[in-house]
Amino acid sequence: MNSTTFPDSDAAIVEIKHQYHALFEPSSVAIVGASPSPLKWGFRILLNTKLGGYKGALYAVNPKHKEIIGIECFPTITDIPGELDLAVIVLPPQFVLESIRECAARGVRACVVITAGFGETKDSAAHLSQEEMARIARDAGMLLVGPNCAGIASPDPHSLYSGMVYRYPKSGGFSLVSQSGNVGMTVLTWAELHQVGVARFVSSGNEAVLRSEDYIHFFGHDTRTKAILAYIEGTTDGRRFFNALRETTKRKPVVVVKGGTTSAGQQAANSHTGALAGPTPLFVSACRQAGANVAEDFYQAMELTSAFVNQPLPRGRRVVIVSEGGGWGVIGADACAKAGLDLIPLPEGVLQELDTILPGWWSRGNPIDLVAGNDRTMMTRAIECVLKCPEVDAVLVLGVGYMSSRAAEMHRVPELAEMGMGKLIDAACDVELHEVRKINSLIDLYDKPIIVASDTVLLAYGATPNAAIREMERLGVYAYSSPHNAAHTLENMAERYEYLNNIPRK
């Protein structure tokens, strides 16, 4: 049994970090059960590790081959020269135990067991095998991830992407533990699309040894991790899980997505990971009490985690909306109000300053409607005017990147080129790029969050990428496609601020 509490002495933490570095920052990796057949997982795991550009020593293990897709192949783990930090095991189930024994004997420091067919099945022999694999790993002091998992990733420092997941997001502060491989894949896909930087990803599988709470605890002490997302279907030891959560949320934000919140979902979770889901309302309220943010939808959860990494917390719920369009402003106001955020009336000083920035007929209210002018600097001037006001905790910006979006269309018109308009269009796009960078710098300057939502995101990654949106996301300012999701993030950031400062939650 694992202990219900976690060590917290400095020496113990150093030891834990040292152990987990074998998993996330290995200098050498062996793919055991690597295969040259593209239909096999042993092929894909090797391929993905290679495509991910792993910078350490990469080996394949398969007695029938000398080399697979350019990677040197050894008959057994024992034949690999030198130290071996990590073994990723993709063998058929009947060979897994023997391989883990070999790893233990060889002094391998960490194992990731991709192979399924153990504790998640109804077969008692398979359950016994899983227990045996846990015993061997524990006795050898070897970390063990899985079995029945989709692998791990850690872009920094060695560009490790070793799993089923053929996605290679850049490095950053977002860490993820998922009890589902395909939810993990969704997160990595989303992160790659939106240029969200990832610190660590682990698919925890059947959790024979390492459980969700172990990763959460490590992430809490991990220098690279700034915020944590956990997809949880069930816990083996609730007390231990909530202990880890309570300790970690003091240090870093943890966003929990609970799978199996209905009886239909719980049944599905049972047959999926064999996890025994407890009564959900209790689980969710216990998560909140332990200081975690709980999201129902995993897109909202990803967006929130990313905001925790990249944005300062609002010091209250007072929000001003700056909008490029009336309808989005209305919907944004609704979304904020429903989320328990306060759309404050604009203070007199702010009104007066905005009168000098905006056209005469502006609405003098919150949302601030920019009335679709041609001056692309109007938006950031309005944002700064609002953001520096001490009565404002956060700004929600609706509509960014319209010039870049329009430019693609305008470049299609030969008459415009003949008129020499190309340069004018490009200049307007440059101004917009500059404004996007300014938004990013204002967040830092005033230490307040600016949440941006825009429909230009929809086509931002298509045939004609939106340069403004891409630049903004490159800088770490995520572009929400809907005011609802943006308000959800702001609400949860305010919740975390209230939690950290013992303010009764709304």
Which 197-216 positions form the footprint of a second copy (CB under 8 A)?
A: none
Instruction: Tell me which stretch binds a second copy (CB under 8 A): 131-139, 169-177, 358-366, 439-447.
Output: 358-366
Least distance (Å) between residue 265 CB and a second copy: 4
Binding test (CB under 8 A) with a second copy, winner from 28, 129, 154, 178: 178
Find tokens 């992160």 and name the residue. 191
Interface with a second copy, residue 424, by CB under 8 A: yes
Q: Where in 52-71 is the site for a second copy (CB under 8 A)?
A: 69-70
Query: Quick check: 117 binds a second copy (CB under 8 A)?
Result: yes
Candidates 12, 14, 105, 193; binder of a second copy (CB under 8 A) is 193
CB of residue 363 to a second copy, shortest distance in Å: 4
Sign of CA dihedral 381, 331, 490, 365: positive
Among 2, 13, 27, 47, binds a second copy (CB under 8 A): 47
Q: For tokens 């309570």, name the residue.
A: 246
**Residues 6 or more apart from 429 whose CB is under 8 A from it?**
403, 404, 407, 467, 468
Among 173, 367, 401, 476, binds a second copy (CB under 8 A): 367
Residue bearing tokens 């070999």: 102
**Interaction mask 425-454, a second copy, x per CB under 8 A:** x-----------------------------
d(CA 126, CA 242): 29
Pick the stretch among 360-368, 379-387, 435-443, 492-500 that binds a second copy (CB under 8 A): 360-368
Amino acid at 146: G
Q: How many chain residues are in contact with a second copy, going by CB under 8 A?
A: 88
| Site of tokens 């920019």 | 370
Under the binding rule (CB under 8 A), the answer on residue 297 touching a second copy is yes
* H-run or E-run covering 213: helix 212-221
Pick between residue 248 and residue 273 the one whose CB is nearest to a second copy: 273
Q: Does 334 bind a second copy (CB under 8 A)?
A: yes
Residue 362: CB atoms within 10 Å: 18
Q: Is 481 in the site for a second copy (CB under 8 A)?
A: yes
Span near a second copy by CB under 8 A; candidates 1-9, 57-65, 173-181, 238-246:
173-181
d(CA 136, CA 142): 8
d(CA 191, CA 170): 8
Bridge pairing between strands 227-232 and 342-343: unpaired
Phi, psi dihedrals of residue 184, rounded to the nearest 5°: -60, -45
**Interface with a second copy (CB under 8 A), residue from 484, 486, 493, 496:** 484
Q: Which of residues 336-355 bind a second copy (CB under 8 A)?
A: 336-338, 343
- Which residues partner with 368 through β-bridges? 322
Instruction: List the one residue from 4, 19, 76, 121 that touches a second copy (CB under 8 A).
Output: 121
Q: For residue 467, what are its two tokens?
A: 């340069």
Do the Cβ atoms of 399 and 325 come closer than 8 Å?
A: yes
Q: Which two tokens stand for residue 389?
A: 């006001």
Q: Can you read off the two tokens belonging to residue 2?
A: 């694992």
CA 414 to chain CA centroid, Å, is 43
Our finding on whether 324 is near a second copy (CB under 8 A) is yes
In which region does residue 458 sit, left (phi positive, over 0), alpha (psi from -120 to 50) or beta (all else)?
Answer: alpha
CB of 102 to a second copy, least distance (A): 26
Tell me if 42 contacts a second copy by CB under 8 A.
no
Residue list 370-389, contact with a second copy (CB under 8 A): 374
Query: Which span sits near a second copy by CB under 8 A: 107-115, 346-354, 437-445, 460-468?
Result: 460-468
One residue of 35, 115, 175, 186 binding a second copy per CB under 8 A: 186
Please report, as residue ranges, which positions from 73 to 102 form the binding site for a second copy (by CB under 8 A): none
Q: Is 426 left (phi over 0), alpha (psi -120 to 50) or beta?
A: alpha
- Among 77, 185, 394, 443, indicate the residue that binds a second copy (CB under 8 A): 185
Contact mark string toward a second copy, 251..270, x via CB under 8 A: --------xxxxxxx-xxx-
Is 501 strand, coil or helix?
A: coil
